Structure 1
Amino acid sequence: MSIQILSDFISQHIKEIVSIVIPFIAWFLNVGIKAKPKLIWSSPHAFTFLINEPVYNDQVAQNQSACTGSIKVINTGRETAKNVELIFNFKPQFVNLWPIRKYTDSTTDDNRYFMVFDTLNPKEEIGIEILSVNRDLPSLLTVRSSECMAENVYFMWIPFVEPWKVNVARFLMLIGFSASLYGIIYALQFLLAVNP
């Protein structure tokens, strides 16, 4: 009985329902799936080496420390990110980039250190290795571009999966999605069918 009432309601008000749904679909197509940059960053590695070599400069110390850190910045979006800024708490002693890229850097009055890259293309990444000897590494405060703020994510090592296994999983998911979509359409046809 309730299915019949729902079916009658939908068939009587189908124009109103469509007029409400269409603007949401248009908004989703315009905003929801519009190509835009999306930046993520992570620090997958940091380590401190204790080196048993004395220091003979201003002060004598029996040990030295070398702190290393790794930072990855990736554009996972579908549009180029412009003016990508990395802001550190202070300037690192040594910086290495991979792949090698041109960037501009500057230091503010309160010793914040800025690295600015002109662009970061979709699916492109920047690897930054920093090294400090006998001092701490600077913290990466924020990563941003003209279009968005980067999200700090955690990286995790996972085992390599053969491409054929990934393709089989994608195929099975496509079949499952298609079957679900078919089931929804079939159920809507059943609900909207006018019974004699």
Structure 2
Amino acid sequence: MLTYDVALTFIGIATLLAWVPGPDNLFVLTQSALCGPRDGILVTVGLCLGLVGHTVAVAMGVAVVFQQSEMAFSLLKYAGAAYLVYLAYQALRAKPERLANTGIAKRSAKAMILRGVVMNLTNPKVAIFFLAFLPQFTDQSRGSVAGQIMLLGGLFILCAFASFATISLVAGGLSRWLRGSPWGQTLLNRAAGVVFLSLAVKLATSQR
């Protein structure tokens, strides 16, 4: 359904986009640095599961709702912004001991994956981006457009996972140093809080 040339071009562009600083890879970066590479990978899995949802939404035409309905778009983006504010609050009030011994460092795999899913699905900009981006690589002469979109979404998810997993492993190395540095833990918590607040403001003020 997809030609080799189309797939190769798409993979190159998708990989490049995955590395452009944005809410998802910044989220992976901060979570990996705070909690370690394992939790960064788990958050990445959650983000990619969210991308599955956006891909299905585009294939089924559901994403059009967020493009055409101001209310639907606003409700979802404000929910996402509120979640980011909550994460910022947690990061800003966290104490060094919490990172070293309890709390966020020991969240279950399910909790970390869910964190990534919620982060991704509550951003309507992703759905609209997929709605504008994926169809550009489809062609009715190659068969079902919905099927092609699902394949393209799958390729995008693979590229995103590989890119975000690399970020997780690199940034996760910082967490080992943080275990023995209360000052470093506090500094990174404050930085993470600022990043989450910035992402919340950006999402809340975004337009369709």
Is the structural similarity TM-score above 0.5? no
> Shorter chain as normaliser: what TM range?
under 0.3
Hey, which of these two has a bigger chunk of helix by percent? 2
Q: Give TM-score, length-normalised by structure 1.
A: 0.21
Higher relative contact order (CA 8 A, sep 6+): 2
Greater share of residues in strand: 1
Larger Cα Rg: Structure 1 or Structure 2?
1
* TM-score normalised per structure 2: 0.20
